[in-house]
């Protein structure tokens, strides 16, 4: 998708579709209060073209509500598309992001390949952050998951023009546009990886795709397999991989900006289970096909590293992605087995009693977190589709987050303002840690039904020791269960934007 900025008056913008944002200015809470839709632009000609429908009552400017006007009087644009943001008092950049995605997804099935999007004019919406959000939203909206349909035709938007007031800060908007393109493309790169079926995205292929990306954007990279796992004594990681005919992949990506030799080293660790059958503790057959997306945490780290390499923050970053299949076979681990995780320094590896082989993500992450620390990471963040319990707790509206460090969490929480992604912090505590103590080994890989997302986080906490750490359980948001106006059903690419913004907060 080609993107560009235009500072021409909206009335002069020649395009197939000109999208403008509207909001409901009604402030009364009375039950009989009627919406008061207003356009968030100052152009009198565009306002006049939409005046009749704005006063008719048929359009209320609800969130992502659309209305298309053909041959709008007095405009060079062939069509005028109104996209709602909802209540004017609650508008923010995230609503602009969704509105841009809505506009793109509205025109795609109509065979329209060109869109001009009017930057909203409101004191509540700073121009640069709105521009960045709009372009990100356009890329998110442009993605469709129908990769292998034999009748698939490319319906991608060819041109997205951001129409801004001439008085806007041109330099700031150009920077915002450039950053948004990188973030949008990186999020969609992650979605492309997650969308692949298990037979097209094995651990080996994931390693190849990561290496190709790394070479393209200038990251250092290594991809190892079984021999390296044994060399490093990654018994937890190997215990998951041993049941599959497909070999595991230990993917390491490095970003080392020139002239930066001191300061923090950020460690990004991702769960890359390219297919999760549950192992011997076999999952039910219903919806098992979705378990191709159990590598979404690893894919998010790969996408975040792409964005980091291109945006070049002055902070060192290492990513470790642990990729494997979790399969039942004669060589698969069994409930009751005891595995030994990777040692760290002069500390022996923790012994892990396997209660349920479907609690495999925490096993690969355990060794991944330890390895990231061994490689020099001073601050850690991991992402994983880890527990169904997190979905039970938070539904599909928020992903779960945990942290052992307040300063680290404060930085991540601030990053969410820019990313627009929704994470809800859940607690940690000794009461939960008690649930994963084992009688035969150090810990066990499940702590029972209650508080399952928290006990999983407590399991991971064992392997970070005192290192500042954040755990993101993205099980509920990694896959969009039903299409929304601004995003297609399928992989979401969640966490890429948040991790990037978090990393940038360490760049001084």
Q: How far is CA 190 from the centre of its chain?
A: 8
Task: Output the DSSP codes for 378-393.
Answer: SEEEEEE---HHHHHH
Q: Is the dihedral of CA 482, 182, 167, 74 positive or negative?
A: negative
The residue assigned the tokens 């060079």 is 76
CB 132 within 8 A of CB 88: no
Catalytic residue among 161, 209, 350, 362: 362
Structure tokens at 211: 């290496």
- Closest listed residue to residue 65, CA positions, set 79, 89, 84: 84
Which residues have CB under 8 Å from 323's CB, separation 6+? 203, 206, 207, 248, 249, 250, 251, 272, 273, 274, 295, 298
Structure tokens at 258: 């020139």
Element (H, E) at 189: helix 170-195
CB 248 within 8 A of CB 225: yes
CB 37 within 8 A of CB 14: no
Cα dihedral 308/312/315/320 (nearest 10): 30
Q: Residue 268 and residue 383: Cα distance in Å, rounded?
A: 8
Q: Residue 55 and residue 22: Cα distance in Å, rounded?
A: 13
Q: Residue 154 and residue 83: Cα distance in Å, rounded?
A: 24
The residue assigned the tokens 């839709």 is 37
Using alpha carbons, list the distances in angstroms from residue 209 to 201, 223, 310, 394. 9, 11, 17, 32
- Whether residue 90 lies in the annotated active site: no
Q: Is the dihedral of CA 298, 303, 306, 311 positive or negative?
A: negative
Q: How many helices (H) and strands (E) does the chain have?
A: 14, 20
- Closest listed residue to residue 300, CA positions, set 88, 156, 494, 504: 494
DSSP assignment, residue 51? H
Catalytic residue among 283, 290, 422, 484: 283
Q: Residue 41 and residue 18: Cα distance in Å, rounded?
A: 12
Beta strands in 277-395 (DSSP E): 316-326, 338-340, 351-353, 379-384
CB 385 within 8 A of CB 478: yes
- Whether residue 504 lies in the annotated active site: no
Phi/psi for 169 (5° steps) reads -75, 105
CB 270 within 8 A of CB 194: no
The residue assigned the tokens 């549950």 is 278
| Active site positions, annotated | 283, 362
């Amino acid at each position: 998708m080609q993107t560009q900025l235009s500072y021409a008056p909206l009335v002069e913008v020649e395009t197939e579709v000109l999208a403008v944002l509207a909001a409901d200015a009604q402030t009364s809470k009375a039950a009989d209060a009627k919406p008061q839709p207003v356009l968030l632009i100052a152009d009198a000609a565009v306002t006049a073209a939409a005046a009749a429908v704005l006063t008719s009552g048929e359009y209320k400017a609800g969130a992502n509500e659309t209305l298309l006007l053909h041959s709008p009087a007095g405009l060079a644009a062939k069509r005028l598309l109104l996209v709602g943001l909802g209540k004017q008092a609650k508008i923010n950049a995230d609503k602009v992001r969704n509105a841009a995605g809505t506009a793109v997804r509205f025109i795609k099935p109509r065979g329209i390949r060109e869109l001009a999007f009017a930057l909203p004019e409101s004191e509540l919406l700073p121009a640069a952050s709105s521009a960045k959000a709009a372009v990100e939203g356009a890329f998110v909206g442009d993605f469709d998951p129908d990769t292998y349909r034999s009748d698939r035709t490319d319906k991608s938007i060819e041109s997205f023009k951001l129409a801004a007031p001439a008085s806007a800060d041109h330099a700031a908007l150009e920077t915002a546009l450039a950053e948004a393109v990188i973030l949008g493309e990186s999020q969609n790169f992650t979605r492309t990886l997650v969308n692949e079926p298990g037979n097209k995205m094995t651990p080996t292929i994931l390693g190849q795709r990561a290496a190709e990306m790394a070479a393209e954007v200038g990251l250092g990279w290594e991809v190892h397999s079984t021999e390296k796992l044994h060399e490093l004594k990654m018994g937890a990681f190997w215990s998951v991989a041993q049941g599959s005919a497909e070999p595991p992949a230990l993917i390491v990506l490095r970003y080392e900006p020139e002239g930066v030799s001191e300061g923090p080293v950020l460690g990004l660790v991702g769960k890359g289970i390219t297919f999760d059958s549950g192992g011997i503790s076999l999952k039910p057959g219903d919806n098992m096909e979705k378990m191709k997306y159990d590598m979404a945490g690893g894919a998010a780290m790969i996408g975040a590293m792409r964005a980091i390499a291109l945006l070049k923050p002055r902070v060192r970053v290492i990513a470790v992605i642990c990729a494997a299949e979790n399969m039942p076979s004669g060589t698969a681990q069994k409930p009751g087995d005891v595995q030994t995780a990777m040692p760290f320094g002069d500390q022996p590896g923790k012994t892990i009693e396997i209660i349920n082989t479907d609690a495999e993500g925490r096993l690969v992450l355990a060794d991944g977190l330890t390895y990231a620390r061994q490689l020099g990471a001073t601050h850690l963040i991991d992402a994983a589709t880890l527990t169904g319990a997190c979905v039970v707790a938070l539904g599909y509206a928020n992903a779960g987050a945990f942290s052992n460090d307040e300063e680290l969490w404060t930085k991540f929480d601030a990053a969410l303002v820019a990313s627009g992604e929704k994470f809800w912090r859940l607690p940690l505590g000794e009461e939960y840690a008690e649930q994963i103590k084992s009688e035969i080994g150090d810990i066990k890989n499940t702590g029972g039904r209650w508080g399952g997302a928290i006990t999983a986080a407590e399991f991971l906490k064992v392997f970070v020791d005192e290192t500042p750490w954040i755990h993101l359980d993205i099980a509920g948001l990694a896959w969009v269960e039903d299409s929304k106006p601004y995003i297609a059903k399928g992989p979401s690419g969640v966490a890429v934007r948040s991790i990037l913004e978090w990393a940038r907060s360490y760049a001084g």
